[in-house]
Amino acid sequence: MPEQSQPSSGEPPPPAPSQDHHASDVVPQTTTINPSSPPGEKKQRIRVKNRRKMYLDTHPSYFDSPDLEIVDPLLYDRCVRRFQSTAEREADGRAKGYSGVLEADLYRSEAKLAAISGRGMSDEGEGRVEQRQQDLAYVPGPDGQVLPEDEDEIPQTKEEGMERWREAMTLRFLKGRDDEFDYGEVDGREEWDVIEREDAEEHWFEEEEPETGSIRVAQPLRSFSVSTKNQGRTNLRRKFYSWLNGPGASFKEPMEGSANYLGAYDNKGNLRRAMYATPGEPLPPAGGSDLRPFPKNESFISQPVTSEALREVVWEKIMKNGLSVKEVSMELGIEMSRVGAIVRLKEVEKAWQRQGKRLAKPYSRAVMEMLPQTPYPNKTWSGASQPHESINDLPVHAATQQQIFYPTSESRQFTRVDAARVFADGLLPADLRVPHPELIEDDRLRIQGVGAKDIAARAEARSKAAYEKKAAADEFKRAREAAALKVVPGVRWDFKFREISVDAAGATGRGKNGTGWRYGVPLYDRRRGEVKIPTKVV
């Protein structure tokens, strides 16, 4: 809303208020002037507006009046009504009544017609016509067209719209444009001159001579500012919107199947890797600067995540096809601990779907579109699938973190097996401690010149031997448990007895193999620092 122009000190004082003048243009008759304050029409207007602002702060119910909607129906529709739900509109209609709803709809329709035709809404009464074009939210353009809303003026949330509506109604009240309100009761109350008294107290503190070296000056608390509002945009704001409409437009509609980081584009909004692409062929995969979310931090590169299709394949190969975790890890190039995590999370997802629980699919898709992914299958990959990560990294054992000076003979070769024995008794060498030692064996055969078919045949033989060995171990374990278990059949139940040993609980009585280990011994479930999550994949 435009501010009213303030008269200069050389102009004569405005006339007394009457029915033909607006309350914001003159000082009401009921307003009293403090003799101790310096005279001046500007100071008097500020005092009146401060009193009115104090009234609004102490009477917030003023903004809940349904009559305010007809003051500017278009602004109310843009800031408040557009965010109301169906239930809220029905409750608002019941509060207004049938006649109130009809009146609000009538005023809203007239305001829209007035905005389109370029004329102001007029109130005819007592032989006068008052133009209210300055109160309309929508002002027509030079050719009579309705101008679209400015992006800066569109409220994004319900709270922001209500705040703008309250601000507009506050300015209208401060200017005295509420004809149905008695401003005399507000403008004549001197006890509401809180801001003026605070300014006088601040002035007194500033002029007082400090006796103890320092005096804490009271901070002014102004509720109303005399300075005009800066309606223009700052230089930084213009540059920001210029960037959004220029190079930043690439981030509004991101590419499908690719990360959309700042480092992937130059200053003009052009995709960097598109410059090196061959015409008529697909874009090369993202890499290097394309995967840097922060252009200034070249050391941080966003790592890919497993796609939904790849996770589904991992779950099917283990739960339906019966493959082991190690086999799936070797086939898809995913570390074994991640394979176990994918299967467990997929089981939770499947259980929720069976229970009818809703999944946050929109949130998942939004996050996945912003991250690089490892797809399955990948047409550009020559093999069955693209490896997701390194799967054969050597884990750091605690026994190998020490420095040892060990004398050895020069007549023999000191191997990794000898190094493992030096660090700790029973420690396996690095070739056997890696997650997939069979890959090292395949690479050793490849260096020796063995053919690919022979390497695959030997790998299959090793896998078959490992399966047979595991099956024999499981069968031996089941037979041993069955021999150690004595079953006495009963009428309704079978009683099972097992031989136990006190030494199975260990020296501390907390051994996991001890019977009754959870009885009589306090647990460490809530003890700080205890590891309460699985540490290995079975």
Q: Is 22 a member of any domain?
A: no
255 and 172 part of one domain: no
180 and 78 part of one domain: yes
Q: Is 3 a member of any domain?
A: no
User: 374, 406, 426 — which closes off a domain?
Assistant: 374
Q: What is the C-alpha separation between 105 and 112, in angstroms, rounded?
A: 11
pLDDT per position as a tens digit, 467-488: 899 999 999 999 998 998 999 9
141 and 245 part of one domain: no
287 and 319 part of one domain: no
Q: Is the pLDDT of residue 494 over 70?
A: yes
Q: Is 212 a member of any domain?
A: no
505 and 440 part of one domain: no
By residue range, what is the domain housing residue 444?
398-481
Range 221-234 average pLDDT: 58
331 and 309 part of one domain: yes
150 and 280 part of one domain: no
pLDDT per position as a tens digit, 352-379: 999 999 999 999 988 888 888 888 875 5
pLDDT per position as a tens digit, 245-258: 888 888 877 777 67
Q: Is the pLDDT of residue 69 over 90?
A: no
Give the pLDDT band of residue 99 (cuts 50, 70, 90).
low
Give the pLDDT band of residue 226 (cuts 50, 70, 90).
low
Cis peptide before 377 (omega within 30 of 0): yes
Question: Is the separation of the CB atoms in 306 and 337 below 8 Å?
Answer: no
In the Cβ-directed half-sphere of 297, how many Cα atoms lie within 13 Å? 8
Question: Which parts of 43-197 are beta strand (E)?
Answer: 122-125, 128-131
Please tell me the predicted confidence (pLDDT) of residue 207.
52
Question: Is the separation of the CB atoms in 394 and 430 below 8 Å?
Answer: yes
User: 259, 291, 323 — which closes off a domain?
Assistant: 291
93 and 152 part of one domain: yes
* 191-200, 418-427, 433-442: range with lowest mean pLDDT: 191-200
418 and 470 part of one domain: yes
Q: Is the pLDDT of residue 88 over 60?
A: yes
Q: Is 413 a member of any domain?
A: yes
Which DSSP category does 518 fall into?
T
Q: Is 33 a member of any domain?
A: no
Question: Which parts of 71-162 are beta strand (E)?
Answer: 122-125, 128-131
Q: Is the pLDDT of residue 266 over 60?
A: yes
Structurally, how many domains does the chain consist of? 5
Quickly list H helices, 406-510: 416-423, 430-433, 437-447, 452-484
For residue 216, the SS3 value is coil
Q: Is 435 a member of any domain?
A: yes
Please tell me the predicted confidence (pLDDT) of residue 232.
61
Q: Is 257 a member of any domain?
A: yes
Q: Is 354 a member of any domain?
A: yes
432 and 403 part of one domain: yes
C-alpha R_g of the chain:
40
Q: Is the pLDDT of residue 418 over 70?
A: yes
Instruction: Say if strands 485-489 and 494-498 run parallel, antiparallel, or are unpaired.
Output: antiparallel
517 and 427 part of one domain: no
75 and 183 part of one domain: yes
